[in-house]
Amino acid sequence: MRKRLILNGFSMNVVSHIYHGLWRHPDTSQVEFNNLETWVELARLLEVGKFDALFLADVIGVDPAYKGSWDTYVREAVQIPSNDSAALAAALVSVTENLGITFTSSILSEHPFSFARRLSTLDHLSRGRIGWNIVTSVSHNAAQNFGLERIVAHDERYAWADEYMDVVYKLWEGSWDDDAVLADKHAGIYADPDKVHRIYHSGKHYRVMGPHLAIPSPQRTPVLYQAGSSKRGRAFAAHHAEGTFIVANNPEGARKAIAETSRYAVEAGRDPSDLLYIQGLSFVVGSTEEEARRKSREIDEYVSFDGLAAHISRDLGIDLGRLDPDRPVDEYGIQGLQGYVRLFEEGHPGKRATVADLAQALSYNGRIVGTPEGIADELERWQDAGVGGVNVMYQRTPGSFRDFIEHVIPELQKRGLAQREYAPGTLRERLFPGRPARLLDRHPAARFRGTFTSSAGVAPSQVDTAVNWAAAE
């Protein structure tokens, strides 16, 4: 029996998430994204299928990145309109018992003090089932929506993110001692003030005194995810993340990405086993190979070239709408496209990628078409490359998830690749069996445990006002 795969349902609080154009399919509820019932149905379905979590993506801006305009994004609902994923996560906590709820939040969108309190609250209410996908955002409009002229340079964003993480780690891990809460009704003492601490953070972007206003939650720090694919992004993931989301073209590509990030993890003083590598995949299931291929062709009838091209243009920062769709991409000599071209051509030996090919690749990349047995065979290949889990993407919702649960999950369970029941404990304990609910001591957040106590040289009486804050620096 193999080690099981972590399974997340991958979605977004939008009409059109990844497979653009499919919102028009008669068997999808994507246009009902504003209705809570739509999401309750999905969350409960994933729980029936024993999925580990619902993983919610998010964006906070829309740029005129395709054909020099934002018209295609609005016309085809390419991740706009987009509702708040954190608000949706809060709504789903009360209608699930075991399903983890992971949502995306950018360092741009909320101050770390209020964000830390929000996450602690959700972790309490869910009894330890919350995860956070850390993003730095790539959109100029996202930056403009939060007071900046344009998005800051790539590496500078990650330096900013490192400080953001320091602030939330200090609040989650260092502000309250484990035994601070007494809840002693007889003595009239709820918490010991000597065991609650200000954090006195003063950095380039933030100045936060503390203390954290929430008591330590079941996980203290939520499960941490990050999806950067650049060298700097992978280094950030290796330093901070417990799960990193990858979108490789094939298992060999995943193997290379995993090896690189694992090297960074060792350099950061962590163990490669500290990270779960989560590959994004979609599935078209048939009782026979021919049925599966027929269903895949039917999906293609709804796919929008413009929607896919607009999505890629935004992510790459290159307007594909200004290029001839039938011309080989290598003839343009655009540096930012070369990595994407290489990934496509590795999967299509002997074929020169055109602009149209790149756009269509978003629909086909990671799509596994076949019988339950054939799909399970493919997932074993991904696992052998080092992939520890799958973000299951959909063409129809909840139909794609239902097909996977009803037909593929039983085959995976038979092989030991999927769990039959939920283990007790928090989301972190389920993802990493045998480990505690809270972060390991070798995680960088752990360095803030016990940092702000009087025994560490920070006496509250000396620095308890903003006027005297400088005395603590």
Q: Which residue in the block uniquely carries the two structure tokens 């080989």? A: 328
**pLDDT band for position 464 (cuts 50, 70, 90):** low
Q: Which two tokens mark 419? A: 């769990």
Structural contact between residues 400 and 375, judged by C-beta atoms closer than 8 angstroms = no
**pLDDT band for position 461 (cuts 50, 70, 90):** very low
Residue 388: what are its φ and ψ, rounded to 5°? -100, -10
Q: What is the pLDDT of residue 463?
A: 47
Q: What is the pLDDT of residue 462?
A: 43
Cβ neighbours for 153, distance < 8 A, ≥ 6 positions apart: none
Cβ neighbour number for residue 442 with a 10 Å cutoff? 12
Cβ neighbours for 173, distance < 8 A, ≥ 6 positions apart: 220, 221, 439, 445, 446, 448, 449
Using one digit for the tens of pLDDT, what is the confidence trace for 207-246?
999 999 999 999 999 999 998 777 888 899 999 999 999 8
Q: What is the mean pLDDT of the chain?
A: 92
Buried b (16+ CB within 10 A) or exposed e, 268-291: bebebebbbbbbbbbbbbbeeeee
User: What is the tally of helices (H) and strands (E) in the chain?
Assistant: 16, 13
3-state secondary structure of 307: helix
- Please report, for the chain, the start and end positions of each structural domain, with discontinuous segments joined by +: 6-460
Instruction: Report pTM.
Output: 0.93
What radius of gyration, in Å, describes the C-alpha atoms of the chain? 23
Of 385, 298, 265, 373, the closest CA to residue 27 belongs to 298
**Cα–Cα dist 260/232, whole Å:** 11
Using one digit for the tens of pLDDT, what is the confidence trace for 134-179?
999 888 999 999 999 998 888 899 999 999 999 999 999 999 999 9
Identify each DSSP E strand in 286-327 by its residue range.
none
Q: Which fold has domain 6-460?
A: TIM Barrel (3.20.20)
pLDDT at 473 over 60: no
List of long-range contacts for 25-30, beta carbons under 8 Å, 24+ apart: 25/299, 25/302, 25/395, 25/396, 27/396, 27/399, 28/395, 28/396, 28/397, 28/399, 29/397, 29/398, 30/396, 30/397
Virtual CA dihedral for 291, 295, 300, 302, nearest 10 degrees? 160
